Amino acid sequence: MNIILASTSTIYGSGYLEYLKKEIIELYKEIDEIIFIPYARPGGISHDEYTAKAQSFFETINIRAKGLHEFDNPIEAIKNAQGFFTGGGNTFVLVKQLHENNLMQVLKEEVLKGKSYLGCSAGSNIGGINMQTTNDMPIVYPSSFETMGLVPFNINPHFTDADAQSKHMGETRETRIKEFLSFNNIPVVGLREGSWIRIIDKRISLEGNLSAKIFKKDEEPYELRHNNEILF
């Protein structure tokens, strides 16, 4: 496998995908065209608008990006693609459309064959076992929460630690993940902004400059330092 699952597409003070540019060039080094999956529609933007945003970045590294929504037969488009990028947005919207179009399993099979895959935020959520550790509002109802299972755990992108100085009384990310683990025996990687998971063949590692918080059922969470292998 040849995969990047990133917490976010944009970090503070940087342009769209710019902080990952070196890694993206390496990910797609042997191809010149990818399929962009715009289904998550951040902020409700259209598929065309979202695709244009992705295209503007990929043009800078001489890669063509075609929106999956532009194809009459998206299943065949995925089967014939050289590589993929799934952008962030609302995971419920993304997963609903992938299942409705019978694309989740097809996409998984092509990635498992070795085709390069980049996911950011919602696009990373679907790399996990299911999407139930997303931070997004359930604005639509997918037929299944099951995702691709490219890694043997779930991901919580944009993971933030509790702020001891904050007066906010709502649940923290850690609280919500612990609630998930009270009903599910699936490890969760709390992926902080600017970090990503890199999968090359069977090796899964945490990359970037920050640690990730690892959650397991009936265990205390712990920190995994960057540039280390993720083992479960």
Please choose, from the candidates 126, 133, 56, the residue with its C-alpha nearest in 3D space to the C-alpha of residue 93. Answer: 126
C-alpha–C-alpha distance, residues 200 and 45, integer Å: 33
Work out the number of other CB atoms within 10 angstroms of the CB of residue 182.
Answer: 9
Active-site residue, from 7, 9, 116, 121: 121
Our answer to whether residue 136 is catalytic in this structure is yes
Burial readout 12-36 (b: 16 or more C-beta within 10 A, e: otherwise): eeeeebebbeebbeebbeeeeebbb
Whether residue 163 lies in the annotated active site: no
- Residue spans of beta strands (DSSP E) within the chain: 2-6, 33-37, 64-67, 83-86, 116-120, 154-156, 188-190, 196-200, 203-207, 212-215, 222-224, 228-229
Q: Looking at this protein, which amino acid is placed at residue 96?
A: K
Burial of 135 (0-12, 13-18, 19+ CB in 10 A): middle
**Catalytic residue chosen out of the listed positions 158, 205, 211, 226:** 158
Question: Which residue in 9, 69, 136, 195 is the catalytic one?
Answer: 136
Residue 200 tokens read as 């090359």
Q: Is 211 known to be catalytic? A: no
Q: Is 179 helix (H, G, I), strand (E, B) or coil?
A: helix
Neighbours of 77 (CB within 10 A): 18
Query: Catalytic positions, please?
Result: 121, 136, 158
